[in-house]
């Protein structure tokens, strides 16, 4: 798998299958806010569990033993369960638009998630996650010690792009099957055409003569009609 850091800070990955991925590493600021949200969620949850246990176990020593066990399991289990079963996102990461992935861009598994979260203790040293912060500031991908050892990284979760409906022309079906890349190019052109000069749109439409069988404004109108048909599933 190849990788390179682009000028805009994104990490470009190429998988062995030839699939290109562009990931944007998340910096310490948003990750700190995500951790704070998760900590508040954990404290509130533990407080509720504590009240419930006090009613279930009237004996104080038994209550303390069960509560400490719940405290340990919830503190270490919460992030692991969220990262494995919730697409790499705890409540805090979801709120900040972040997710944890493997270095190759694939979802994290039990081993990677458990390793990175258990090493939070090392990142905490000597106090207030100082080691983790220094490590993130020195790493081009903002990875803390746990991420480096586990082979993971925290990235911005890409937002799905919504396409605007193409309604300027009556939809018509494609004359023949287009590849997924050609379909995306056709939809992108129809979406951007209103923001381009008319002369430039006609120039691009002339390049699509093999598809439309026309030239000039007639080819442009046919391209928009084909894009509308593609959007409508004709």
The ranges of the chain with pLDDT < 70 are 1-10, 12-21, 160-169, 232-234
Whether 19 and 148 have beta carbons less than 8 Å apart is answered as: no
Question: Residue 166 has what pLDDT?
Answer: 47
Q: What pLDDT was estimated at residue 192?
A: 82
Quick one: pLDDT at residue 8?
A: 46
Asked if 138 and 88 touch (Cβ cutoff 8 Å), the reply is no
Distances (CA, A) of 146 to 20, 22, 143: 26, 22, 8
**Token pair listed for 106:** 């694939």
Query: Which DSSP state fits 107?
Result: B
Kindly report the pTM of this predicted structure.
0.66
Both tokens of 9, joined, read: 């800070």
pLDDT digits (tens, 9 = 90+) for 49-96: 999 999 888 888 999 999 999 999 999 999 999 999 999 999 999 999
| CA separation for the pair 132, 128 (Å, rounded) | 9
- Read off the tokens for 102: 């493997």
Amino acid 14: pLDDT = 60
Q: Given this model, what pLDDT does residue 185 score? A: 85
Q: Which residue has the tokens 């270490």?
A: 76
Residues 6+ apart with CB under 8 A from 186: 178, 223, 226, 227, 230
**What is the predicted pLDDT for the residue at 13?**
65
Domains of the chain: which residue ranges?
2-156, 180-231
Q: How far apart are CA 57 and CA 18, in angstroms?
A: 58
Cis ω before 126 (30° cut-off from 0): yes
- The pLDDT, as a whole number, for residue 7 is 44
């Amino acid at each position: 798998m190849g990788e390179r850091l682009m000028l805009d800070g994104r990490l470009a990955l190429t998988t062995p299958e030839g699939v290109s991925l562009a990931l944007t590493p998340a910096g310490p600021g948003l990750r700190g806010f995500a951790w704070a949200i998760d900590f508040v969620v954990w404290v509130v949850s533990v407080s509720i569990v504590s009240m419930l246990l006090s009613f279930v176990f009237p004996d104080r020593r038994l209550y303390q033993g069960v509560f400490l066990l719940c405290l340990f399991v919830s503190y270490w289990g919460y992030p692991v369960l969220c990262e494995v079963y919730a697409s790499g996102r705890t409540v805090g990461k979801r709120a900040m638009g972040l997710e944890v992935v493997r270095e190759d861009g694939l979802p994290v598994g039990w081993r990677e998630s458990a390793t990175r979260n258990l090493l939070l203790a090392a990142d905490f040293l000597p106090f207030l996650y100082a080691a983790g912060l220094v490590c993130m500031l020195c790493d081009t991908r903002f990875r803390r010690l746990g991420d480096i050892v586990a082979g993971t990284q925290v990235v911005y979760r890409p937002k799905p792009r919504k396409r605007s409906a193409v309604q300027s022309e009556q939809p018509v079906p494609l004359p023949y099957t287009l590849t997924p890349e050609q379909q995306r190019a056709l939809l992108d052109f129809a979406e951007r055409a209103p923001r381009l000069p008319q002369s430039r749109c006609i120039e691009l439409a002339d390049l699509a003569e093999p598809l439309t069988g026309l030239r000039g404004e007639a080819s442009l109108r046919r391209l928009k009609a084909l894009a509308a048909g593609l959007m409508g599933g004709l």
